[in-house]
Amino acid sequence: MRRFYIGLSTTFHDPALALVNSDGEVIFAEAAERCLKYKRAYGLAADVRDTVRRIIKEYCDPTSEFMVAKPWSKGSYQTSHLLALMGITNHELIPTRPRRMTTYLLKKHSLFAQCWLQYSGYVLSGGNIVDILQSDFNNKNICFINFDHHLSHAATACFTSPFEQAACMIVDGHGEGGSISYFEYKNGRFRDLHRTKGTASLGALYAVCTELCGFSTEKGEEWKVMGLAPYGKLDDEILQEFRSLVSVDDLSIKFAPIRKIRAWFNRMTPRARSKEDSPLDVADLAYTTQSFYAEIMTQLLNNFHARGISDNLTLGGGCGLNSSYNGQILDRTKFKRLHVPSAPSDDGNALGVALLAYYRDHPDRKPKATLQSPYLGSSISKRSLTNLVRFGRISKIRHFPGTVHQETARLLAEGQLVGWVQGRAEFGPRALGNRSILADPRPPDMKDRINLLVKFREEFRPFAPSILDEFGDEYFENYQVSPYMERTLTFKESAREKVPAIVHVNRTGRLQSVRREWNKLYYELIYSFYKLTGVPMLLNTSFNIMGKPIMHSVEDAVGLFYTTGLDALVIEDYLAVK
């Protein structure tokens, strides 16, 4: 009997579901926030009923066996551990006894108390999958398996990479017993090398500084710190405060004693930004936070490379989203190649555990050393698109089968703001050309136009360039291929005048390298724009507004089209203009 493997990300935030078939192919992966329309989907189930029912019908034989995999060992589901996980977002860096922590969190943080109640019960059970398979398909051939949390991250990072062997580092807020782990990956197998024990955590420290900057870790706004940092400068006093708090011991980090942590936090609190203050008032704090994070990571990575595991590095965990530092790794360490998956945070663990379960059942097989396509999510409903054309009463909607990219390129070259929806959605937090808002990167005011008219977000936040890979060396210093928009590189000085809308204040850009074999239509769109303008890149940002998930449906796209300053909307081969 065939067996399908369903991976669930079951941390209290960023729930997600992935599906691997009996041949080991990843055939679906999506974060629950997309269909639920709730950013990060705190405390909600990964196995959303409508999603489960749909993927079983669309991708599976409902009479097959199903293995459900989850990214936490069974022993980690104890109250003290989960409350410790939740505690990292509320400035509680100080280790406390579980009972005191339980009391503190349940009294002071009702959101996390609610998450805990859900997390400890139905959310962890995979109950929606069981119920749907039994009630809809009369199938009771279901089994469950659990994997270590950091091993799940490592599987996502390594199984999606182009490497047959690599050194793998996992860095997040907290795992099972620690926040940093190291693995050797070789021919589809993992060897656990080292794990930082205790509560010391770079991810937790960065979260605290995010809150001090006036941003929300609940909403995942650590990237605002990265965007704000280039507007500041190094504050030596803050840097020394960080250095008094954290030290490197080979592959681990250590926090100062509890009394010094309390004193550190008391000294840092007066620097916190109030809601009335401008984010620019804490730019120096953001810059120094990012600088210190890079300093510690560089020490750890160089110590790791000295172990002689590999010149290839895979990086996973929530800190793998720190694209500002990712772009510096090959310059500041001795590693020669880097891979960061499209979903390095906890949502990506759904993919990691599904693949771990598959290769556990097939020990004689090994993964192909090739980049995993990120286009694994839901497609646009053809019925909804047909209904839009039929009933939408949009006077200027036209059908361009086979040429929609050329028409869109022309609008972009004229300065129009375009919502672009094609194929299957990207897995991970970044829009990679299938659920994107696109614009011409040449006008100096384009960034401000989009922030003001479409995204409704802070003016200091930059936008990303999607560049044809073959032109990368022409525009970037020490160009690195970045298929998932996972690293930030420095533009050459000559590029500043050519594409000012996507050159950040420190002359960097979080780029997406585009190749024809990765996304044919998106490549052809950018190439058409290049033929018109001589510029082989577009400004690319996710198709959403601040605080909301990336759009999921035709209805979402149309709603955003008519409630923002977008000029045109492209869905598959249809183009609508206002």
pLDDT higher than threshold 70 for residue 87: no
Average pLDDT over residues 422-439: 98
pLDDT higher than threshold 70 for residue 108: no
Confidence grade of residue 275 (pLDDT, cut at 50, 70, 90)? confident
pLDDT higher than threshold 90 for residue 524: yes
In this predicted structure, what is the pLDDT of residue 124? 53
Mapping DSSP onto H, E and C, the string for 470-484 reads HHHHHHECCCCCCCC
pLDDT higher than threshold 50 for residue 110: no
Residue listed under structure tokens 């599906």: 19
φ and ψ at 262, to 5 degrees? -60, -45
Token pair in block for residue 122: 């139905």
* Domains defined for the chain, CATH in brackets: 3-76+120-160+345-372 (3.30.420.140), 202-339 (3.30.420.40), 377-577 (3.90.870.20)
Between helix 202-212 and helix 283-305 the angle, nearest 10°, is: 170
449, 484 contact by CB (below 8 A): no
Q: Listing from the earlier edge strand, what are the strands of the sheet with 312-316?
A: 189-195, 180-186, 165-171, 312-316, 337-339
Distance CA 459, CA 102 (A): 39
The string of pLDDT tens digits covering residues 120-151 is 434 455 889 999 999 999 999 999 999 999 99
Average pLDDT over residues 48-57: 96
pLDDT higher than threshold 70 for residue 422: yes
Distance CA 547, CA 550 (A): 10
Token pair in block for residue 374: 């990120």
278, 458 contact by CB (below 8 A): no
pLDDT higher than threshold 70 for residue 115: no
Distance CA 374, CA 358 (A): 19
Query: Measuring CA to CA, how many Å separate 213 from each of 224, 267, 277?
Result: 9, 14, 10
Token pair in block for residue 118: 């859900």
Confidence grade of residue 76 (pLDDT, cut at 50, 70, 90)? low
507, 497 contact by CB (below 8 A): no
Instruction: Kindly tell me the burial class for residue 179, based on how many C-beta atoms sit within 10 Å of its own C-beta (0-12, 13-18, 19 or more).
Output: buried
Distance CA 14, CA 94 (A): 25
Distance CA 216, CA 279 (A): 13
From the CB of residue 60, how many other CB atoms can be counted at a distance below 10 Å? 21
Q: What is the dihedral of CA 476, 322, 9, 184, to 10 degrees?
A: 80
β-bridge mates for residue 337, sequence order:
312
**What mean pLDDT, rounded, does the chain reach?**
91
31, 15 contact by CB (below 8 A): yes
The candidate with the shortest Cα–Cα distance to 319, out of 336, 341, 304, 334, is 341
The string of pLDDT tens digits covering residues 309-335 is 999 999 999 999 999 999 999 999 999
The candidate with the shortest Cα–Cα distance to 317, out of 344, 287, 335, 348, is 344
Token pair in block for residue 117: 């109640």
According to DSSP, residue 444 is labeled: T
From the CB of residue 173, how many other CB atoms can be counted at a distance below 10 Å? 26
pLDDT higher than threshold 90 for residue 262: no
Confidence grade of residue 261 (pLDDT, cut at 50, 70, 90)? confident
The candidate with the shortest Cα–Cα distance to 190, out of 363, 449, 428, is 363
Residue 62 three-state SS: coil
Distance CA 168, CA 157 (A): 8
Mapping DSSP onto H, E and C, the string for 134-161 reads HHHHCCCCEEEEECCHHHHHHHHHHHCC
Distance CA 465, CA 537 (A): 6
β-bridge mates for residue 405, sequence order:
none
pLDDT higher than threshold 60 for residue 283: yes
Query: Measuring CA to CA, how many Å separate 516 from each of 100, 462, 487?
Result: 56, 26, 20
Token pair in block for residue 201: 């955590």
In this predicted structure, what is the pLDDT of residue 70? 95
62, 27 contact by CB (below 8 A): no
Q: What is the dihedral of CA 9, 18, 141, 75, to 10 degrees?
A: -20
Strands 508-514, 464-468: pairing is: parallel
The string of pLDDT tens digits covering residues 456-471 is 999 899 999 999 999 9
The string of pLDDT tens digits covering residues 3-32 is 999 999 998 889 999 999 999 999 999 999
pLDDT higher than threshold 90 for residue 75: no
Q: Give kind and range of the element (H or E) at residue 490.
A: strand 487-490
pLDDT higher than threshold 70 for residue 92: no
End-to-end CA distance of the chain: 53
Report which residue type is found at 442. Answer: R
Report which residue type is found at 335. Answer: F
φ and ψ at 200, to 5 degrees? -60, 130
